[in-house]
Every structure is written in structure tokens, then in C-alpha cells.
Chain A
Amino acid sequence: AQSVAQPEDQVNVAEGNPLTVKCTYSVSGNPYLFWYVQYPNRGLQFLLKYITGDNLVKGSYGFEAEFNKSQTSFHLKKPSALVSDSALYFCAVSSMYSGGGADGLTFGKGTHLIIQP
């Protein structure tokens, strides 16, 4: 079965500093990796995905993520944090060998990102 781990429940960063939200995964075959963001009382918004190709993926709102196959990681990064980046971030994994349903796309527990002015 595939799985996602987001080891930090909360990450605190000062505005203007770089931020990293960590994600590691386990899956059969080559992974498809996603990051979503959720603002209070809203649904999840797609940020970026890695399917194949360049290990550094650029997404919405200045976010990027680095795929590291040897470390089975897909950390979310941003060079300079904004207060408006404060939200709940979810990492998700799938692969071409995934089944359907919950095994098709597995989400991590989420990481609260708090950007302090």
C-alpha cells in the first residue's frame, strides 16, 4: 500500500524567510506527487505536481517542490514567505500501479504553515 508522511504538524516561519514543508512517500513504481493547500473553511487548491522530468517543479503562488527519488521525498519550498501563505498544506501520492479509491490517491495528514509578520 502507498503512504505519505508529513512529519511536521506545524511549521513557523518569519515573513520574508525561505520556507520548507516536508513530505516523504512510499509507493510501488514511479510516483506521481502532488501538493495542495487549504485555506480556512475552503476546499483544497492544487499547487503543483511531479509526474516525470525535471526534479524541480514550479507551481502556483511562487511555490516549488523538489523531487528526490533516493530519499523518497517531495518537499515544498518557497524562497520568501508571505503572511498570506499561512494555511494547511497537503502532500499526496499516486502511481500508475495504484488501484482505485483511497489507494489511488493518498494524502498526508497535512502541515499547518504559519508565517509570522
Chain B
Amino acid sequence: KAGVTQTPRYLIKTRGQQVTLSCSPISGHRSVSWYQQTPGQGLQFLFEYFSETQRNKGNFPGRFSGRQFSNSRSEMNVSTLELGDSALYLCASSLAPLTGVSYEQYFGPGTRLTVT
């Protein structure tokens, strides 16, 4: 069974631009979560989608948004990029939503975003 895939793997953008990252979950997984990983802050939850609905959102500004399609694929968008948005963005899929979760999450390799 194919794992979680994320595209692109690496991205360099300029301040003020916007970016869209893509995630394809494991077949049959309907929950997709996004995380931002930085050396200083560690893993920070961005948002979670289940059955095309955003179920939860972390403490990030409105510049960060996402969506999920009927095939469970998900995209996240960051508008008006700032230098501090440079990070590894990880997508994770799971069988069930994160509420009361006992199912493990499966992570993609991440997209390394560099903002200059």
C-alpha cells in the first residue's frame, strides 16, 4: 500500500508570495492533518480535515488555510509569506479523526519551504 505523498518536496519562495502544498493520504484514510515543524517550536498542529470538513485548527493566523477533496487529498495554502514561515510542513493521514484518537497517524516526507 502506498504511503502518504507530499508535493513538492522542496520549495523556495519570496516574502509576500503565496504557496500551495499538496498531500495524498494512504488509500482508505479519510483524516488528514497538517503540521509545521521548526527547530525552535517543534511540531505544531495546523489543521485537520475529515470527510472534506475542517474539524480543528491550530493557533495559526488566517494566512494559513487548507481544504480537502472528495478523494481525501488535501491542500494547504499560505498567503503573504513571511520569513518565519520557513519550515518543514508535514501531512499525516489516519483512519479516524483526531478526536479521542487511538489510531496512529502516518506521515508524509514533508515539504521543505524556504522563504527568502
Q: Size of chain A's interface in residues, with CB distance under 8 A?
A: 27
- For the complex, is A41 an interface residue (Cβ under 8 Å from B)? yes
Interface residues of B, Cβ cutoff 8 Å to A: 4, 6, 42-45, 47-48, 55-59, 90, 92, 97-102, 104-110, 112
User: Are A105 and B100 touching (Cβ within 8 A)?
Assistant: no
Please tell me which one of the listed residues B42, B98, B99 contacts residue A109 in the complex, with CB atoms under 8 A apart: B42
Chain B residues lying within 8 Å of A105, measured Cβ to Cβ, are: 45, 98, 101, 105
B107 cross-chain contacts in A, Cβ below 8 A: 36, 43-45
Do A94 and B43 contact each other (CB < 8 Å), given the known contacts A43-B109, A43-B110, A104-B48? Answer: no
> A78-112 interface mask toward B, CB cutoff 8 Å, 1 = contact, 0 = none?
00000000000010001111111111110101100
The 10 A-B pairs with the shortest beta carbon distances in the complex, nearest first, are: A101-B56, A104-B98, A43-B107, A100-B56, A102-B45, A44-B107, A96-B100, A46-B104, A107-B43, A100-B99
In the bound complex, how far is the Cα of B47 from the Cα of A44, in angstroms? 17
| A interface residues (Cβ-Cβ under 8 A, vs B) | 32, 34, 36, 41-46, 49, 51, 90, 94-105, 107, 109-110
